[in-house]
Amino acid sequence: MSEAPLVSIKNLHANAGETPILKGIDLELRAGEVHAIMGPNGSGKSTLSNVLVGKPGYEVTGGEVTFQGEDLTDMDPEIRARAGVFLAFQYPVEIPGVANNYFLRTAVNAVREHRGEEELDAIDFLTLLKEKMKLVEMPEDMMSRAINEGFSGGEKKRNEILQMLLLEPSFCILDETDSGLDIDALRIVANGVNQMRSPDRTMLVITHYQRLLDYIVPDHVHVLSGGRIVKSGDKSLALELEEKGYGWIDGVEEEGASS
């Protein structure tokens, strides 16, 4: 029947610092699929993405995560990245003094080396970079500027998607990529993401709002609440949530505090 999932999350429990946040997540992401995770503030959405990429400060306390059949939780973050796990950050950091293009080439070559491919020299890289920059409508002068320094919110998010396009990960996690974007920037970002949709790749789109899912149409929608997935469905679930909020779903813990 269907082949093994690309990413398999089983009964995942995790802490942020000392606080238990994820309380038993089960998810199977198959190649070619786009999954959306929705949920109220504080439901554990960002913790899930941070745990998947191995951010220090987050600890897996139970369950397992496999990626391409291998245990992900034992890998260092940079090894996960090279193996093809990518997180588009909700709040991309600025790194003064480090030129974007230099950084991107270093990252691309780290990934290529891991795949046993030859390093790209400056010229070949520039060709590739220009091609990908067009997809997210990035002006060329942004590449010689320091990473995200002085970038607008929209430019930072476009830069994240550009990195995804360059690194060609097989597991893409987008953490609230729509936050802080106006409608034009949202369209550009979604367009970049859609370019990446392919039968060998899976995506986990974490979002608070249905709006993004008008542009990046998911195959599956999951509602996360209190550290568990309380409901799953197809894209119509997102529309339903938009209309009715989260209150009608059994098991959703209503709370006002933002994450």
Partner 1 sequence: MASANPDLEKLAKQDYKYGFVTEIEEDRVAPGLTEDVVRLISAKKNEPEWLLEYRLKAYRRFREMLEDENGHPEWAKVSYPEIDYDEIVYYSAPKQEKKLESLDDLDPELRETYDKLGISLLEQKRLNGIAVDAVFDSVSVATTFKGELEKHGIIFCSFSEAVENHPDLVKKYLGSVVPYSDNFFACLNAAVFSDGSFAYIPKGVRCPMELSTYFRINAAGTGQFERTLLVADEDSYVSYLEGCTAPQRDENQLHAAVVELVALDRAEIKYSTVQNWYPGDENGVGGIYNFVTKRGACRGYKSKISWTQVETGSAITWKYPSCLLIGDESVGEFYSVAMTNKRQQADTGTKMIHIGKNTSSTIISKGISAGHGDQSYRGLVRMGPKAQGARNYSQCDSLLMGDQCGAHTFPYLEASNPTATVEHEATTSKISDDQLFFCRQRGISEEDAISMIVNGFCKEVLRELPMEFAVEAQNLLSVSLEGAVG
C-beta of 47: minimal distance to partner 1 in Å? 12
Nearer to partner 1, 196 or 213 (CB): 196
**Of 172, 169, 159, 173, residue with least CA distance to 101:** 159
Nearer to partner 1, 29 or 87 (CB): 87
C-beta of 78: minimal distance to partner 1 in Å? 4
C-beta of 90: minimal distance to partner 1 in Å? 11
Nearer to partner 1, 76 or 243 (CB): 76
| DSSP secondary structure code for residue 142 in this structure | G
| CA end-to-end distance (rounded Å), the chain | 40
Using left for φ > 0, alpha for ψ between -120 and 50, and beta otherwise, residue 54 falls in left
C-beta of 149: minimal distance to partner 1 in Å? 10
Residue-by-residue DSSP string for 10-40: EEEEEEETTEEEEEEEEEEE-TT-EEEEE--
Nearer to partner 1, 110 or 217 (CB): 110
C-beta of 57: minimal distance to partner 1 in Å? 4
Q: What is the C-alpha to C-alpha distance for residues 46 and 60, in angstroms, rounded to an integer?
A: 14
Location of structure tokens 């209190």: 226
Nearer to partner 1, 193 or 230 (CB): 193
List of residues contacting partner 1 (CB under 8 A):
17, 53, 55-57, 76-78, 81-82, 86-87, 89, 92-93, 95-99, 102-103, 106-107, 110-111, 114, 146, 163, 167
> From the centroid of its chain, how far is CA 190?
13
